[in-house]
Amino acid sequence: MTTPLIEMKDVVKSFGRHHILRGASLTIEKGEVTTVIGKSGEGKSVLLKHIIGLMEPDSGQILFEGKEFKTMKKAERKQLRSRFSYVFQNTALFDSMTVYENVALPLKEKGELSKKEITERVTTRMDQLDLHEIGNKFPSQLSGGMKKRVALARALVTNPEIVLFDEPTTGLDPIRKNAVHSMISDYQKKFGFTAIVVSHEIPDVFFISQKVAMLDEGQILIQGAPQEIQQSKDPIVQGFLRGMEANHDALTGLGTPTQLERRFEQEMELQKQQESNFSLMVFTVENLEEINEKVGHVAGQTMVKNFAAWLQQHLRANDTCSRYGMAKILAVLPNTTRKDAQKVCSKLARAARGEKITDAELYPGFCFSVSAGFAEATDDSPIDTVLAAAESRENMLYAFRITK
Q: Does residue 206 contact residue 226 with C-beta atoms inside 8 Å? A: yes
State how beta strands 84-87 and 278-285 pair.
unpaired
Whether 266 and 242 share a structural domain: no
Does residue 274 lie within any of the structural domains? Answer: yes
Whether 263 and 243 share a structural domain: no
Q: Read off the CATH number of the domain in which 335 is found.
A: 3.30.70.270
> Any idea what DSSP says for residue 374?
E
Whether 259 and 241 share a structural domain: no
Whether 21 and 133 share a structural domain: yes
Whether 53 and 137 share a structural domain: yes
Does residue 348 lie within any of the structural domains? Answer: yes
Whether 75 and 199 share a structural domain: yes
Per DSSP, what are the bridge partners of residue 27?
7
Q: Does residue 187 contact residue 220 with C-beta atoms inside 8 Å? A: no
Whether 196 and 324 share a structural domain: no
Q: Does residue 48 contact residue 166 with C-beta atoms inside 8 Å? A: yes
Whether 232 and 262 share a structural domain: no
Last residue of a domain, one of 247, 266, 299: 247
Does residue 230 lie within any of the structural domains? Answer: yes
Those residues whose C-beta lies under 8 Å from the C-beta of residue 265, and which sit 6 or more positions away, are none
The closest alpha carbon to 91, from 165, 30, 194, belongs to 165
State how beta strands 18-28 and 67-68 pair.
unpaired
For residues 342 and 279, what is the distance between their CA atoms, to the nearest angstrom? 10
For residues 329 and 323, what is the distance between their CA atoms, to the nearest angstrom? 4
| Dihedral of alpha carbons 287, 289, 290, 292, sign | positive
Does residue 1 lie within any of the structural domains? Answer: no
Whether 196 and 307 share a structural domain: no
Q: Read off the CATH number of the domain in which 36 is found.
A: 3.40.50.300
Last residue of a domain, one of 247, 280, 309: 247
Does residue 128 lie within any of the structural domains? Answer: yes
For residues 288 and 81, what is the distance between their CA atoms, to the nearest angstrom? 34
pLDDT score of 357: 67
- In degrees, rounded to 5, the angle at the alpha carbon of residue 102 between the alpha carbons of residues 100 and 107 is 90
- Residue 331, amino acid: A
Whether 243 and 292 share a structural domain: no
Q: Does residue 54 contact residue 84 with C-beta atoms inside 8 Å? A: no
Those residues whose C-beta lies under 8 Å from the C-beta of residue 301, and which sit 6 or more positions away, are 175, 176, 178, 179, 182, 251
Whether 350 and 317 share a structural domain: yes
Task: Return per-residue pLDDT of the chain as tens, 404 residues.
Answer: 789 999 999 999 999 999 999 999 999 999 999 999 998 888 998 999 999 888 999 999 999 999 999 899 999 998 898 899 988 877 889 999 999 999 999 999 888 889 999 999 999 888 877 788 899 999 999 987 788 889 988 998 998 999 999 888 887 888 888 988 998 999 899 889 999 999 988 889 999 999 999 999 999 999 999 999 988 999 999 998 888 877 889 999 999 998 999 999 999 999 988 888 999 999 999 999 888 888 778 888 988 999 999 999 999 999 999 999 999 999 999 999 999 999 998 888 888 876 776 655 566 667 788 999 999 998 788 999 999 999 997 777 766 676 55
Domain, as residue range, for 34: 6-247
Last residue of a domain, one of 221, 247, 273: 247
For residues 302 and 179, what is the distance between their CA atoms, to the nearest angstrom? 9
Q: Does residue 154 contact residue 128 with C-beta atoms inside 8 Å? A: no
For residues 314 and 308, what is the distance between their CA atoms, to the nearest angstrom? 10
For residues 376 and 318, what is the distance between their CA atoms, to the nearest angstrom? 17
Whether 219 and 307 share a structural domain: no
Those residues whose C-beta lies under 8 Å from the C-beta of residue 169, and which sit 6 or more positions away, are 148, 176, 177, 180, 181, 199, 201
Domain count, the chain: 2
